[in-house]
A = this chain, B = another copy of it.
Amino acid sequence: MNTKFCSMERMEDKLKTFATYGDTGHGGVTRYSLSQEAIQAREEFTKRMEAIGAEITVDDMANMYATIPGSDPNAKRIVIASHVDSVKNGGNYDGILGVITAMEVLETIVVQKIPHKHPLTAMIWTNEEGSLYPPAMMSSGVICGKFDKDTILSSKSVLDRKTTFGEALVASGYAGSLSNRLNSNDYKCMLELHIEQGPILESANTDIGVVTCVLGMINYRIRTYGQADHAGTTPMKYRQDALYAAAQVLTYLHNELDKLDPDLVYTTGEIKCHPCIHTVIPDFVDFSIDSRHEDPKVLEQVLDIIKNMPKEVAKCKVDYTKAWARDTVYFDKELVAFVKASADEAGISNQYINSGAGHDAQYVSDMMPTTMIFVPSKDGHSHCEPEFTSVEQCTNGASVMLNTVLKIDAK
């Protein structure tokens, strides 16, 4: 099969255009799902997709589908999807690059008149980030049966703590029909391109990450219990300082976890201290530990370390509680192989990689064959304004996506 290539000029045009919707004025965007800025991005998507003859449909969770027909009237659709919403002061690549790639693949096929049997769909997932209305991956969660829709509709804005996601959905004008939902009868498979959000591809000087799985993870809370007393009047020997104890426990966990598999990642990212007043000895500290690895046996070792922590540190009781866990989600082997072959045939450097972050694709993979393509993140940054992937790297990603779609189509 002849390798096809997407257009760097068109990719650059789309990147620049979408960067204006929610532009913060210093290199990034704030584009909460269903906000005015996100609606501008949806309108741009509609305009550009209708211009190449795509039909637009919207489902009940405001997910948007732009579909061009294939030559076989009975063939299922191949869908390429990602999201247009961002975190607060996010960058110009996370999510939006996957939607731009989906659009570019369809545009290239139409412009170059590339024959294909299957209808092809470029798709926008609603509220992947969950920045304004938690949780993240909200709509794929509903459609793939992970979340209860009514619960999700009642999710409240983290800003005003009043408006519900359901109200925002109606107000947006993008509440469509349940019958338009992604489903395995009408859709053959889903593909998602995303920035890596880590430094691995850049460090290896590799342009494409052939994603094999989304890492399993465990998330625990560690708690220390002290005694609140006055900073000025309590001699040191009488103190039970929960923050001092937490510092010891945090260090202990880091030291122990560093002895495990070098591919393990773990993060103590959130800490709450009570009462958190400079003149009061803390009586309670709670910090998070998030740990991810492909192999559940390694996560078991992490859990053993948590369970075997000292039960008392610096005269403070220590305990833990499970927040949540997920198993490793493996992507479809045939699709993974198509991505690898597409990159190899196009002469684009590539390597296998796993996803440490969660994506809509991980929920969809329970419903139909699914996989992902990663492109490099400069300095590994994501969810921040310095996010950067060069236009050339973005276009390489789109070209690998294009050829992957054509391989699936030709199968």
Query: Which residues of chain A have a CB within 8 Å of any CB of chain B?
Result: 196-200, 203, 215, 217, 219, 228-236, 238, 241, 243-244, 246-248, 250-251, 254, 258, 262-271, 273, 276-282, 287-288, 290, 292, 323, 355-358, 380-384
Tell me the minimal C-beta distance from A265 to chain B in angstroms. Answer: 6
Complex Cα gap A217–B196 (Å): 49
Do A238 and B380 contact each other (CB < 8 Å), given the known contacts A198-B233, A270-B278, A276-B270?
Answer: yes
Look across to chain B and name the residue whose beta carbon is closest to the beta carbon of A382: B230
A268, B243: Cβ atoms closer than 8 Å? yes
Q: Of the candidates B198, B219, B254, B278, which one forms a contact with A278 in the assembled complex, judged by CB atoms under 8 Å apart?
A: B219
Look across to chain B and name the residue whose beta carbon is closest to the beta carbon of A285: B271
Q: Of the candidates B197, B229, B292, B381, which one forms a contact with A381 in the assembled complex, judged by CB atoms under 8 Å apart?
A: B229
Look across to chain B and name the residue whose beta carbon is closest to the beta carbon of A246: B247
Q: Of the candidates B230, B268, B276, B381, which one forms a contact with A244 in the assembled complex, judged by CB atoms under 8 Å apart?
A: B268
A233, B197: Cβ atoms closer than 8 Å? yes
B231, A265: Cβ atoms closer than 8 Å? yes
Complex Cα gap A269–B242 (Å): 9
Complex Cα gap A232–B199 (Å): 11
B268, A277: Cβ atoms closer than 8 Å? no
Complex Cα gap A234–B288 (Å): 17
Look across to chain B and name the residue whose beta carbon is closest to the beta carbon of A258: B236
Tell me the minimal C-beta distance from A131 to chain B in angstroms. Answer: 11
Complex Cα gap A200–B381 (Å): 53
Which residues of chain B are near A265, meaning CB under 8 Å? Answer: 231-236
Which residues of chain B are near A381, meaning CB under 8 Å? Answer: 229
Which residues of chain B are near A230, meaning CB under 8 Å? Answer: 197-198, 356-357, 380, 382-383
Complex Cα gap A233–B194 (Å): 12
Look across to chain B and name the residue whose beta carbon is closest to the beta carbon of A234: B198
Tell me the minimal C-beta distance from A98 to chain B in angstroms. Answer: 16
Which residues of chain B are near A199, meaning CB under 8 Å? Answer: 234-235, 238
Which residues of chain B are near A277, meaning CB under 8 Å? Answer: 269-270
Which residues of chain B are near A250, meaning CB under 8 Å? Answer: 243-244, 247
